[in-house]
Amino acid sequence: MKKVLVTGGTGLVGKALEAFIKKEGPTDEEWYFAGSKDADLTNLAATQSLFAKEKPTHVIHLAAMVGGLFHNMNNNLDFLRNNLLINDNVLQTAHEQGCTKVVSCLSTCIFPDKTTYPIDETMVHNGPPHPSNYGYSYAKRLIDIQNHAYNDKYGRLYTSVIPCNIFGPHDNYKPEVSHVIPGMINRMHKLITEQADTPESEKVFTVFGSGKPLRQFIYSLDLAELMIWVLRSYDSVEPIVLSVDEAQEVTIFEVAQAIATAFEFKGKLVCDTSKADGQYKKTASNAKLRSLLPEYTFTDFETAIKTSVEWYRSNYEQARK
C-alpha cells in the first residue's frame, strides 16, 4: 500500500489532485492532503511530527511561501529563508523516514531572466533569475540541486516538475497576490455585480497592460493528472516541464476574451497601456513530456476557463479573495 502525503494540499494544485483521485476511484494508494493547519513546515519538529503521524511512502511537495510581483519585490529575504527551510525540512524528513519518492513543484518563473526561448529543463541554472523574485527563485532552484545530492549520496528518487502558469477551481483571487486569470475573474465578477443596472454596451472591463504578452496556461486538473503520472511512472531525478504545447500559447487579451465569454459579458474590453506588461513571453518547451506521453490531450483553454468561472460563481462566498 502506498501512502502519499501532499504538502500544501489545500491550495489550487492540492485541490485538483484531490478531485482527480476521487474521480479515478480506488487504487493501491492512500492520500493525505496536509494544509498549513496540519504543520508549520518552516519548523523541523512540526515537519517530523507530521511525517511520523502520516507515515508516507511517497510525497508530493507543493507547500511554499508564494506571492504576487509586488509582495515578492519587497520580501526577497523572507521568500528565500522560508522556502529554504520548508524545502530542507520536507526533503530531509522524507529521507530520514525512508520515503521512496518525492515529487516537488518548481515554477517557470525561476528560469534565468536573460535566456533564449523556448526554455527547457536543462536551462534552469544558466544565469540569475529575474531580480524581482530572486529569493523565491533561488530557493526553488535549490530543490533540484538537493534532489541530485540525495540521489548521489543515497540513491534517492526525489524529483521535480516545472509547470507553466496554472489556473482552475480553488485558485487564489486576492488582488494583492493573485495571478492574471484569477485576478481577471475576480475583477470581472465585481464589475458585473456592481454595474448590474448599467446597459451592457456601456460596461467597460480594463485589461492591465497592452494585452499582447503571450503565456502558456495549464488547467489545474490536467496538471494534477500529469503530476500523478510523474509520481507513478517518471523515474528520473531530472526535472520535467509540465506545460501545454507551444502552439497553445495565448495573449493576455485572448485570456480576457475567454473570461468575458464565460461570464457572458457583452461590454467592451479596453487595454490600459499605462500598466506594465512584464515579460513579453516565457515560452516553455514540453518536448520531454511529449517524448514520454505523445498522445496526452490537454483540456481546451476556453472550456477550462468556463469551468473555472462557473466554480468561482458557485463558490463565491468560500473563495480566497
Q: What residues are annotated to the active site?
A: 136
> Following DSSP, what letter does each residue of 41-109 receive, concatenated?
TTSHHHHHHHHHHH--SEEEE-------HHHHHH-HHHHHHHHHHHHHHHHHHHHHTT-SEEEEE--GG
Q: What is the largest CA-CA distance in the chain?
A: 67
With helix as H, strand as E and coil as C, how does 292-306 read? Answer: HCCCCCCCCHHHHHH
| Residue listed under C-alpha cell 544558466 | 126
Beta bridge partners of 240: 161
DSSP secondary structure letters along 139-162: HHHHHHHHHHHHHHHH--EEEEEE
- CA dist 129 and 126 (Å) reads 9
Scan for cell 532552484, then name that residue.
141
Cα(133)–Cα(54) distance, integer angstroms: 33
Compute the radius of gyration of the chain from its Cα atoms: 20
Specify the residue for cell string 479573495: 321
Question: Quick one: 168 exposed, middle or buried, by C-beta within 10 A (0-12, 13-18, 19+)?
Answer: buried
